[in-house]
Structure formats: structure tokens, C-alpha cells
Amino acid sequence: MRLVVIGGVAAGLSAASRARRIDAGLEILVLERGETISYGACGLPYYLEGRVRDAAELIVYTPEYFRKERNITVRTRAAVTEIAHARREVTLDGGERIHYDRLVIATGARPYCGIEGAELPHVFRLQTLADGIALKSYLAERLPQRAVVIGAGYIGLEAADALRRNGLAVTIIDSGACLLRRDDAELTAILVKHLKRYGVEARLGTRVRSIQPDRVEDSPCDLVVLATGLQPNAELAFEAGVQRGITGAIAVDERMQTNLGGVYAAGDCAETMHLVTGRPAYVPLGTTANKMGRVAGANAAGARERFDGVVGTCIVSVFGMGLGMTGLSVAQARREGFAPISVRIEARDRVRYFGGRPTSVELVADQKTGRLLGGVVMGERGVEGRINVIATALHARMKADDFERLDLAYAPPFSTTWDPLLIAAQQLVHKL
Amino acid sequence: MRLVVIGGVAAGLSAASRARRIDAGLEILVLERGETISYGACGLPYYLEGRVRDAAELIVYTPEYFRKERNITVRTRAAVTEIAHARREVTLDGGERIHYDRLVIATGARPYCGIEGAELPHVFRLQTLADGIALKSYLAERLPQRAVVIGAGYIGLEAADALRRNGLAVTIIDSGACLLRRDDAELTAILVKHLKRYGVEARLGTRVRSIQPDRVEDSPCDLVVLATGLQPNAELAFEAGVQRGITGAIAVDERMQTNLGGVYAAGDCAETMHLVTGRPAYVPLGTTANKMGRVAGANAAGARERFDGVVGTCIVSVFGMGLGMTGLSVAQARREGFAPISVRIEARDRVRYFGGRPTSVELVADQKTGRLLGGVVMGERGVEGRINVIATALHARMKADDFERLDLAYAPPFSTTWDPLLIAAQQLVHKL
């Protein structure tokens, strides 16, 4: 019985490792087309910044580790060119054919393209370890002075922060009206002001048609980072007859099964369920990839596990300010057919004598049912904890007036008697 | 229509303020037997430590503020000696009688007593602002060298920390076998070791029968802090015919109503519901007092609000280590008729290159139903956020395998790809 996993980063290796725990006798082969496996791509901005000195620090495990410790064979530079499901075979680019009994597709995602000039030598991405190394070398060797970051998602913002800390002038350009792809004008206004304070200009509502060697649209630059979002690497799967979901990524059920028997998909190539909207969503993130991979691997090895979906939690640090988001913004909620209302409050994150600093909380709820739909937390500290409380409440489909009564921890070193989350909830309930 | 509130600290003032928001025309009178109102008693250890320079900093609002800004009359040094509910009257110690239409009893709690020698001049409590000022003066004037803290609840630990930072040798004595009154030997062992590292000796399982001028049991000392836990100040209410609950505190329903029409109780004098056990519990804490007070005030003013109860969340900082607890320990869960299993894991709170430090997570679940029952989080950072996530899950009666799939925030500055909470949940689910 052989399990083949296509892809050796988050989802693929989670699947392989979990399958091994379920079935000690299974033959497990991981095929990775790149040169390295198991790296933390989310660390690339910090390698760029200089906090991570050596890109090798971002590599968690080596193929040797998997062979010796987990009895899993990992082949790098092994690009799969075809899945022939009728024969249960994958074909490598050298022509080699490999049989599988179970298959996990974890082929990840790639940046959107389609901008003229994207292949110029001063244009970089920040997705793979190789991308990070190339950009870091360029910084060291060519000493660029002015960067344009195309795309204002979290990778774009992290890249802008890292480049600014390297002394470059930085402009972020995005075709949308909002930062972080969250349809929230107030949030964008706060963030634009914060970026400006640290010398980063944000040009929103600007579609980039082409990249020139010395500028992007009207912004002069000698370095460009493309952070225009991700699209699933799923063509290989679709060509083999795997079903495409409404988001454009691979459709899977809660067992991570595709429409083909014995074929699973996980991670950035697959879609998942958004638990607030109840509809499929494409949310490529490492944490989700790990969870999907684990479940795919477990089920491929004969167990019966499920992954219900996500609530859309995301967090980013920009010039010392943490920004966490989960669930739906007001505009998203309205598009999904809810009757959203929201509040945004500013409060101290701790009592004054423990150096309380301002933090802001936005909560969104449905006026018809009182159900909590989403939230945003911003501040210098404690953002991850507070956004996680909101995320947990979203998983539980909690109502605003239950959220208001949460028994949250308080002592002076940690919070305020009324936690900012509860202050926001009180105001939200008052508006409902 | 007159609302009388007995007690001018957390619950009483929350009730009065909320009642004013509900009904602008209501006459509201708060009677406080002490000299000050609206102080943050939880800040007393930090006043003792020296972080809070002046006790006045702990006073949030003055009677004048309430009169001018909220049209609420606050009388201090107004001790109620009798509630005559048949006549709807309270009597003050001077003999004055005051009519009420609605009454909120928020008479708080007092430390357990009954130890011989508790009234000696070197014995202090840390409950009221006056207690804190007296102890602080004693430290400054008498320069005590060795302190014994009787009681190892959170106030005892905070007092030990504060006294140690003032240079005193400190011994904590408790009659129970566990610290923080949480029946958890492993937690106690970790904490005893931590205290020892900072020079505080913990003598557990030692019942103090009497305090001598120069020692407590075998421990020599020239200062004693009594932190033996609280009992409700409810005699006044019971004498008036208010029903006593099974915990010994005032019994209230989810509207904070007592058995007497128009009479509400809130805060440390009343019991509340424990949402994990489904049974009444006595959990005197400022956060709960505020929530109960708000609901009592709202309902007393004619609104219809409810407070369901608590999950037993508590947090304390001891020599730089945060310790958060919520729900039930294994031993408590067993006593409540559950079939508890638990895991305790240690993991990094953030990725290595953001200075990840060890943090530990204990989760308790019921083997029969998979329901999460409690948790403990310890570490230098992020403890409040993680314990609040567990608390939120307890409110939602979440099962361990749903908790395992929570969509928690991750980026390198904030956590690890698998948050310590999720690592613990995986191991818990594995054991279920």
C-alpha cells in the first residue's frame, strides 16, 4: 500500500507525517519539485528584514530527517507532470512513472501574474525560499534605494516593513480601495496613516498595467516586489479529472477527499469551507494548510477525521503594530446576505500603571440574529489573544450578547477590568 | 421611584451606573460604609510593590463625579444596619431610615477570620484601600524583615511577590496541599519551584492555629498578611429574609433577583452559576462583580437582562510568570461526576527568531463526551490571550476535537504555526 504526496511544504508534510502515525506499515513517498522542503515561508519577510540571519534557519526538517525519523521517503526536484488516475500513476518530468494507492495533492499556490514586465530582473516575489534568497542577494549586491510593492495583502505589508527597515523608500500599490483585502474603509484609513508615519506611501485604487525598469506606473523605483495574492497550483489535478470548486481551487469535502476515489487535496491548492458564510472559500495560509494536510494524511491512511473549515483569521505585524482580523467585515457580511452592524472602540490594553497602550477592537454582528460575524483588533500587544477569542466565538456561532458576558481573565498586569473585547461587545449589544 | 444600592465599589457602582443609563428619571442613592468608593482593590499588591506610587491612583471615580456626571447620589460612611423589606426601608447606623422602591445589595466580602492573633498590630489584610495604606505605612515605618503570608490564593501570591520586591524574606503558609486553591499537584509543583527560585518558601498542608507576635507556627516573622480567602458580607441580607444559597452567599437568579421582590444582589456577597458544572459557585472577583452589578442595575431600573454565570477564569502574575486558569482541574472534574482526562504540554510561545520562550498548556476534557472542561496556561507572555480562548470554548461547551481545529491567528511575531493550544488539543484528542 503506497501513499504518494505531491508537495513537500506545509500541507504535504503534515499529510505524510500524520499518515505515518496512523499506519506504521504504509509506504509513503513525498515528491517535491523544488530543492528544499519543510520551510516556513511566513518567515521570509523576517529573513529580508535581517532578523533571520540565514535562510537555512527557516528550514524545519530535511529529507534525511523524514527518512530516518519517520520512515518517509522525500524526493526533491521531483516535478510531477501528470496524474493518470485510471492507472493510479503519477509521471515525473524525467518520464518516470510512480504507482500510488492513495494520493494527496498538496501542490500549493503561486502568485498571480499577468503584469507586463513581471519577469524583469529587478522584480521579485516572496513566496518560496528561493524567492527570498534571490531578493536578499539583490538587496546586498545592488543596493536598491526605492522599492514598489505591488499588492497590499499581508505579504505586501510585511515586505514593505522589511524593506523600509533596510533603509529603502517604499511605495505600496494596490488596485483595490482597501488594505489587507478587507473591505473596511476605516481600517484602511488607520493603517494608511500608520504606514505614512513610518515613511511608506500607499497608493490604493491603482491598477498596475506594466512594470518599467525604472518605475511602476508613476512611482520611480529600482526594486519591485510582487505580492498580488495567490492562485492555486491545481492544473495538474484538474487535467486528471479532479473537480474544480467555485473558488477556482480544488473542491474537497470535510475529509479532504476530491471527487476521485483515494485522491485527497490539502493546503493552498484546495478550497475550504468558511464557517461564517457556510460557503467554500479560498484562504491560502500555512496554518490552514497544516490542518488540512493532517486530515488528508489521516484519512488517506485509513483513519476517519474531518476538517470543517476556517473563520478567516489572519494577523500581521506592521511597524510594531499588530493587526488581527477574523470573520467578515461589514461589507463582506452585507454581500453574504447578513444585516451587519458594527462598532469600533478604542481602549487601553492594560491598566495605566502597567503601561496601558491604546488598542482598538471592531466587532461585526448580524442585526437579525445577533450572531457575531467578525472582528478586527489592532494594537501593540495582545492582538493575537484578542483576535483568537473572537475567532473561537465565531467557531461556536456565538451571539453578541453571549460574547458580552464572557468570563475573560483580568489582573492588572494583563488587561483592564472590562477587557476591550467586552467594552466593544457592550456597545454592539446596545446597537442591536 | 428610588433605587438604593448598598455598597460603592465594583458591583454597586456598576449597578448604579447601568440603572442610570436605563432610566434617566430614577432617583439613585448609593450607600457606602467606607470612606472611599470605586477603587481598584486588585491594584493593592502593586501599590504595596511600589509600582503604584499613591493609593489615590487606584480610585477611579469620586462621589462628586457620580453626582455631577451621572446624577447619582453617593454617601460614604453610611453603614446600613438593617433592611426592613416590609416597609421598604434601610436603616443607617445613625438611626436614619431611607425608603427604597428597588434595592441592590452589593455588600461585598471580607477575609475569613478565626485565627487567634489576627488582630495583632503586625497583621494586615489586603482587601480594602485602607488595608493597603496601613500595610504600606507599616513597611515604610517599621521596616519589617520577614513576612508570613497566610493563604496561597492569588492575593497571597501577589502579596508575596510584592513583599519580596520590597526586600523582605517571605514564607507562604496554606492549609491546603495546593497553590491557588486549584487541586492540581503538577501545577503546584511547578509554582513552588518558581517561588523558591525567587526566594519565597511555600509551606503547604500547614494549618495556622495562631499568630504570635514574632512567628506564625514555626516561621519567624515581623509582618503577617492574611489572605485566607473571602466570605460574603451577607448577614444584613439574610436577617432581612433574603435567601442564602448553597455556597453560603446570597442566592440570585440570572436576573440577579433575590427571593424578595425588587431586591437584587450582585458582586462578592452573592453566588453565581458555574457554567461548566451547572451548579452555583462562589467566585468573588472584580470582573464578575462588575458584570453582575450591571445586570442587577439594569433589571432594577426596569430592563430585562441576564447574567448566566462564570467558567472560573482567573489569572495571576508571580515573579514575571503569568498563570491563567479556567474551568475545572482534573480533581474538581472528578468530584463533579465527569470522567476527566488531561494533557500538559510545553511549547514555545513564538517562533525562535522572535525570541520564543517556553509556555505550558494543560487541557482537561471529559472522556465520555469529549467536552472541554478546563485549562491552565503558564508562561512569560500571551497567557491572558490563551486562557481566554479556553474560557471562550468553555462558554460554548466546545468539544476537544472542535477546539483542535480552531482557526487561530499565526504570524511569526505572534505565535508558532501550531499554536501551543492546538498542540495540547491534538494530544488531548489522541488520548480521548
Q: What is the DSSP string of A296-359?
A: HHHHHTT-------B---EEEEETTEEEEEEE--HHHHHHTT--EEEEEEEEESS-GGGT--EE
Contact between B381 and B369 under an 8 Å Cβ cutoff? The reply is no
When pLDDT is averaged across residues A211-217 and rounded to a whole number, the result is 95
Mean of pLDDT over chain A: 95
End position of a domain, from candidates B300, B330, B353? B300
Chain A residues whose CB is inside 8 A of the B407 CB are 275, 287-288, 310-313, 326, 391, 395
Does a structural domain hold residue A48? no
Say which CATH number the domain at B329 has: 3.30.390.30
Q: Do B383 and A414 touch (CB under 8 A)?
A: yes
Question: What distance in Å separates residue B148's CA from the closest CA in chain A?
Answer: 23
Chain B residues whose CB is inside 8 A of the A414 CB are 315, 317, 322, 383-384
| B369 burial via Cβ count (<10 Å: 0-12, 13-18, 19+) | middle
Q: How far apart are CA A72 and CA A104, in angstroms?
A: 14
- Name the band, by pLDDT with cuts 50, 70 and 90, for residue A36: confident
Does a structural domain hold residue B305? no
Say which CATH number the domain at B44 has: 3.50.50.60
Question: What distance in Å separates residue A346's CA from the closest CA in chain B?
Answer: 18
End position of a domain, from candidates A275, A300, A325? A300
Chain A residues whose CB is inside 8 A of the B297 CB are none
Contact between A347 and A382 under an 8 Å Cβ cutoff? The reply is no
Q: Rounded to the nearest 5°, which phi and psi values hold at A388?
A: -70, -35
> What confidence score (pLDDT) does residue A57 get?
86
Q: Are strands B230-232 and A372-379 parallel, antiparallel or unpaired?
A: unpaired
Does a structural domain hold residue A49? no
Does a structural domain hold residue B123? yes
> What confidence score (pLDDT) does residue A281 get?
96
Q: Do A290 and B417 touch (CB under 8 A)?
A: yes
**Nearest Cβ partner for A388 among B291, B312, B389:** B389
**Same-domain status, B239 and B217:** no
Over pLDDT 70: what percentage of chain A?
100
Among B42, B178, B221, B269, the active-site one is: B42
- The answer, yes or no, to whether residue A167 has pLDDT greater than 80, is yes
**Same-domain status, B322 and B216:** no
Q: Do A407 and B312 touch (CB under 8 A)?
A: yes
For residue range B263-301, what is the model confidence (pLDDT) as tens digits?
Answer: 999 999 999 999 999 999 999 999 999 999 999 999 999
Does a structural domain hold residue B404? yes
**Same-domain status, A127 and A144:** yes
> What confidence score (pLDDT) does residue B358 get?
96
Q: Do B407 and A317 touch (CB under 8 A)?
A: no
**Same-domain status, B105 and B236:** yes
Chain B residues whose CB is inside 8 A of the A288 CB are 407
**Same-domain status, A271 and A323:** no
Does a structural domain hold residue A305? no
What range defines the domain where residue A343 resides?
314-431
A244 HSE (CA, 13 A, CB side): 12
Cell readout for B13 is 457602582
Q: How many CB pairs under 8 A join A and B?
A: 191
**Same-domain status, A340 and A293:** no
Is B315 at the interface with chain A, CB within 8 A?
Answer: yes
Our count of domains for chain A comes to 3
Cell readout for B89 is 426601608
Chain B residues whose CB is inside 8 A of the A43 CB are 351, 353, 412
Beta strand ranges found along B121-184 (DSSP E) = 123-125, 146-150, 169-173
For residue range A271-299, what is the model confidence (pLDDT) as tens digits?
Answer: 999 999 999 999 999 999 999 999 999 99
Q: Do B409 and A354 touch (CB under 8 A)?
A: no
Q: Residue A169: which residues within 8 A CB-CB, separation 6 or more?
A: A145, A146, A147, A199
Is A139 at the interface with chain B, CB within 8 A?
Answer: no
**Same-domain status, B73 and B164:** no
* Helices of type H across A103-207: 129-142, 154-165, 185-197
**Same-domain status, B278 and B328:** no
End position of a domain, from candidates A176, A195, A226? A226
Is A291 at the interface with chain B, CB within 8 A?
Answer: yes
Does a structural domain hold residue A47? no
B228 HSE (CA, 13 A, CB side): 21
Question: What distance in Å separates residue B307's CA from the closest CA in chain A?
Answer: 7
Q: Which residues of chain B have pLDDT under 50?
A: none
**Same-domain status, A89 and A171:** no
Does A42 participate in catalysis according to the annotation?
yes
- The answer, yes or no, to whether residue A158 has pLDDT greater than 90, is yes
Give the number of other Cβ atoms within 10 Å of residue B76's Cβ: 16
**Nearest Cβ partner for B52 among A313, A314, A353:** A353
Cell readout for A270 is 484546495
Contact between B392 and A393 under an 8 Å Cβ cutoff? The reply is yes
Chain A residues whose CB is inside 8 A of the B410 CB are 42, 285-287, 315
- The answer, yes or no, to whether residue A38 has pLDDT greater than 90, is no
**Same-domain status, A145 and A221:** yes
Q: Do A353 and B286 touch (CB under 8 A)?
A: no
- The answer, yes or no, to whether residue A127 has pLDDT greater than 90, is no
**Same-domain status, A321 and A416:** yes
Does a structural domain hold residue A46? no
Chain A residues whose CB is inside 8 A of the B158 CB are 411
Q: Rounded to the nearest 5°, which phi and psi values hold at A426?
A: -60, -45
> What confidence score (pLDDT) does residue A35 get?
86
**Nearest Cβ partner for B391 among A311, A408, A411:** A408
Is B38 at the interface with chain A, CB within 8 A?
Answer: no
- The answer, yes or no, to whether residue A40 has pLDDT greater than 90, is no
**Same-domain status, A182 and A246:** no
